[in-house]
Amino acid sequence: MADEAPFQLLHYELLQYIYKAADGGDAEQGRNVTKLESMGFRVGQGLLERLTKDTARFKDELDVMKFICKDFWTCVFKKQIDNLRTNHQGIYVLQDNAFRLLAQLSAGKQYLELSPKYLAFTCGLVRGALCGLGVKSIVTAEVSVMPACKFQVMIQKM
């Protein structure tokens, strides 16, 4: 539990840093999200390299997704993904019922519109890890009720 707080604090500080550097309209907002996402991407790549050092080679795409839901998520957020669904055609939905980075926010609807900025880094993280494993993807996130969060992973066939 103790090593969880520093990551959250660092993450909030990262948001502060990015958003303080630029205050502006909608275009700026988009750019900040992109910046966070690409930071997450690089971290995901590095982290993946470390986490897969001792695992066997993955059999297929589903195997890779299971790894993300279990080992990867546990490493970053100290819990596993609560629900993984797929349509077997390259779309996966990862649901986390108590997403750590949103846990400290008020559960009402008040901050719902701010959620993209809290999720961008994680989207990048997942995309980076998948890219490291040779799976090109687009990751988006959505929140309907506050601490719960859904990540949609769209695999891009090459």
Instruction: Kindly state whether residue 85 participates in binding another protein, applying the rule CB under 8 A.
Output: no
Task: Build a one-symbol-per-residue string for 89-128: x at contacts with another protein by CB under 8 A, - elsewhere.
Answer: ----------------------------------------
> Would you count residue 55 as binding another protein (CB under 8 A)?
yes
d(CA 80, CA 100): 11
User: Count of residues for the chain?
Assistant: 158
Binding window for another protein (CB under 8 A); candidates: 13-21, 77-85, 114-122, 129-137: 129-137
> Hey, what amino acid is at 45?
Q
For 108, how many CA atoms within 13 A lie in the half-sphere containing its CB?
A: 2
Coil/strand/helix, residue 156: coil
Is residue 2 at the binding interface for another protein, with CB under 8 A as the rule? no
Q: Are 146 and 111 in contact, with CB atoms under 8 Å apart?
A: yes
Element (H, E) at 157: none
Query: Smaller CB distance to another protein: residue 40 or 116?
Result: 40
Tokens coding 102: 């949103």
Which residue's entry shows tokens 């077997």?
88
Tell me the per-residue interface mask from 25 to 54 with another protein, x by CB under 8 A, - otherwise: -----------------x--xxxxxx-xx-
Query: Is 157 near another protein (CB under 8 A)?
Result: no
**Which residues make up the interface to another protein (CB under 8 A)?**
42, 45-50, 52-53, 55-60, 132-134
